[in-house]
Amino acid sequence: MTVHALYLCEGSSDTGLRDHIEAIGAEMGREILVTVPDLDRLPNRPGHSVRGKLRAAQQVSDEGQVYDLVVIHRDSDGNPPERRRGEIAEAVDEVSPGLAHVPVVPVRMLEAWLLLDQAAIREVAGNPNGKAALNLPKPARAESVADPKTLLKEAIAAASEEKGRRLEKLQKRFPENRARLLQMLDREGPIQQLASWQAFTHDLRESLSGL
């Protein structure tokens, strides 16, 4: 049976997680078709509210489309991850009762997941053979970084070894480079040491096993 999944992310540069959802399903012998609705095209954007996103997704879904699973990304932003997970569960129960759901709750923000692969950062920075120090955290500390987005921006800039206008142009491409890093994420690499990644992949596999 093909699993039809809805993926609600926080921003357009988070859509790359779809590839990993489908790949994890394939590893289990399950085919997953993941839909990522473009909620920004709605006249009234739903913002960060999970309830609002679920209701908005119902508006833009193809007529008659029934989903088996919804994957919902919500950064913890300093809140306890269990609080975010509870918020997601309550929203799904209210808007789509009975629908299986998988929370994706990176500690602070998803950029913490992207700080672990120096080679990938150097590649998106356009300087794969660079040797500049990037000052990246060890996996054990990645989810303790106070502002992982700023650190990732600084790491890409340092890796590029650019200056002046060329550096400015690179920094303007941060959303695109962030999206590339998410697509390039090595599921078998250091990210396996992060508690939030472990929770996401465990919950996804458990949900797929139950469908």
Indicate if the pLDDT at residue 62 is higher than 70. Answer: no
Q: Which long-range contacts (CB under 8 A, 24 or more apart) does 15-22 make?
A: 15/179, 16/179, 16/180, 16/182, 16/183, 16/185, 17/71, 17/73, 17/104, 17/182, 19/183, 20/185, 20/187, 21/71, 21/204
Find, among 87, 154, 158, the residue nearest to 126 by Cα.
158
Longest dimension (CA), the chain: 54
User: What average pLDDT score do residues 117-136 get?
Assistant: 97
pTM of this structure? 0.92
Instruction: Please write the tens of the pLDDT for every residue from 151-173.
Output: 999 999 999 999 999 999 999 99
| Average confidence (pLDDT) over 83-111 | 95
